[in-house]
Amino acid sequence: MSNLLTVHFSASSIAGDIPKEIVKMRKLQNFLACIMHGDGLTGSLPEDIGNMKELRELCLGGNNLTGQIPKTISALNKLWYLDLRNTPGKMYGNLSDILALPSLTDLFISGVQLSGELPRVLPKAFNYIVLPGNNISGKFIETFSKHNTPSILNVANNDLTGDIPGDLLFQDISMIDLSQNRFSSINQGKPWSEKAKAGVKSFVSLAGNRNLSINFTSFIGLFNRVDFAPSPSILNLSFCDIKSPLLANVL
């Protein structure tokens, strides 16, 4: 079946290892096998998956894959959608191999031991960066702009440290989840400009970052502008050990 363009197994009862022969399907553009019934797919990704040059979508979320994410995955120049949300503790790989994908815009990985660090500046425009629970360490992304900020940014439950850049909250973004890391501050603990307005639309969570240095009054002020709509429906700063009293004028 070397001429197949799409293989769609999602929500089926197919189980077992991914056949190594799949890499011979050189014209395959979409391989979708997410949220499987039963045990789902097992085994590891083929080492030479990088030979599938036409692959656009690789959706394997909700399976029980094992082993290393092959370094050759970075050769999939047309891949724009990648979902490797896996049973925790069974897969490992290098984050730089993933971020090297030149066409990638939608990234979903969880439960994978990812070595390497986040870049200081995102290399390209993403729609989604969803990377919770991958033991990613090091510093956070330092620079954001309207040209390279995803609509959803979730790096919860990792091992990230240092400062969260204050201008992240100004971006046109729907959801930010930075909870359960080891961040020490946001905006270096300094106040924002009195005229600054947050651009986040629905959800912000910094929960579980113990001893977070934050100017709480100024932070709340970013979302407390009567001339600004819409504002987030959820602000979660639980378990951050913030010493500031609750503000009485939160709108």
Check residue 230 and give its pLDDT: 57
Interval 23-42: pLDDT, tens = 999 999 999 999 888 788 99
Q: Determine contact, residues 123/144, Cβ cutoff 8 Å.
A: no
Please give the DSSP secondary-structure letter assigned to residue 20.
G
Closest CA to 251 of 212, 181, 198, 213: 198
Q: Determine contact, residues 160/154, Cβ cutoff 8 Å.
A: no
Mean pLDDT over 136-144 rounds to 93
Interval 157-216: pLDDT, tens = 999 999 999 999 999 899 999 999 999 999 999 999 988 888 898 999 999 999 999 999
User: Which stretch of 9-13, 84-88, 118-122 has the lowest confidence by average pLDDT?
Assistant: 9-13
Kindly calculate the radius of gyration of the chain based on its CA atoms and give it in whole angstroms: 20
Interval 79-116: pLDDT, tens = 999 999 999 989 999 999 999 999 999 999 999 999 99
Q: Determine contact, residues 23/52, Cβ cutoff 8 Å.
A: yes
Interval 102-111: pLDDT, tens = 999 999 999 9
Query: Cα 236 to chain center, whole Å?
Result: 18
Q: Is the dihedral of CA 217, 170, 123, 113 positive or negative?
A: positive
Which residue shows structure tokens 């729609």? 127
SS3 (DSSP) at 124: coil
Check residue 235 and give its pLDDT: 92
Residue 118 has pLDDT above 90, yes or no: yes
Task: Name 114's Cβ contacts closer than 8 Å, sequence gap at least 6.
Answer: 92, 93, 94, 95, 98, 131, 134, 135, 136
Residue 17 has pLDDT above 90, yes or no: yes
Mean pLDDT over 228-235 rounds to 72
- Give pTM, 2 decimals: 0.92
